[in-house]
Copies of this chain bind each other. A is one copy, B any other.
């Protein structure tokens, strides 16, 4: 696997289709540096194309998931664009923001489910990341903050676009306007995480069980579910139904369906080919 300075990819078990992707700057609480934004989409793309991978777990090395964008990175980016012709600087800065956004959106572009396993701080850019993930679990010690407003920033890496569909528009507004910290239990109530585990160890085990479970399912059905849900988010119900009917007219009648039905009848676990 490729070398990354801000990330690490680990396959814990060579027989497993679950791969772990770590934010890996633990001394900086995994704050997002400029390099991260280049490496992250590259890492996700390689996992997406690797047929051994069915599920990706995204986690943070060290004591925290992610402390948000690195302040030095923020300063150095903004320094690039404050001088010179205002219109030209604006055009270049807009492109820079879009490039940073693309790094986060890579999670959605990845056909395979990405499970966020969150402990400790998940702040600012960390929230941008987890709201782009497909499943979110956390440990009891996790805490969250849509912090950008406190740095005089209108959050621009995805939280304002994705959080409302996860926690509701009202909650998203309140969290983004106050920038207040909230804890794992509130994150669960809000629907930001689907489950809270008592400790980091329990989180690791719990996430492993869920991820391995998904990893054994039909990869066609899993990717179809992610793709169709994602697309339907922006279609109305009639359009979404038409889309999934079209999708399934191509993908449903596969070996996976017969295997799943046979296994069910034979009361055994189905075994699916790689995709």
Contact = CB atoms under 8 A, between A and B. Distances in A.
Contact of A149 (B71, B178, B225): B225
Given A152-B254, A233-B237, A235-B239, 20 more contacts: A82-B253, A86-B86, A90-B251, A90-B254, A94-B249, A101-B241, A101-B245, A105-B238, A134-B174, A152-B221, A153-B248, A153-B257, A154-B225, A154-B251, A155-B225, A156-B252, A158-B237, A161-B237, A167-B191, A246-B247
A137 to B, nearest CB: 9
B253 A93 contact: yes
**Size band of the A side of the interface?**
35 or more
This protein's copies in its complex: 6
A247 to B, nearest CB: 5
A236 B237 contact: no
B234 A237 contact: yes
Contacts of A240: 160-161
Contacts of A91: 220, 223, 249-251, 275
A43 interface: no
A165 B229 CA distance: 11
Contacts of A78: 252-253, 257
A150 interface: yes
Contacts of A265: 71
A210 interface: yes
Interface in A76-121: 78, 81-82, 85-91, 93-94, 97-98, 101, 105, 108, 113
Contact of A245 (B97, B153, B238, B254): B97
Interface stretch (A12-20, A26-34, A196-204, A211-219): A211-219
B87 A177 contact: no
Contacts of A225: 148-149, 154-155, 160, 176-177
A261 to B, nearest CB: 6
Most buried by B among A224, A240, A264: A224
18 contacts: A71-B265, A86-B253, A87-B250, A90-B251, A91-B249, A105-B241, A108-B237, A136-B170, A151-B260, A154-B227, A154-B228, A154-B248, A156-B244, A165-B169, A172-B229, A174-B194, A233-B237, A235-B239
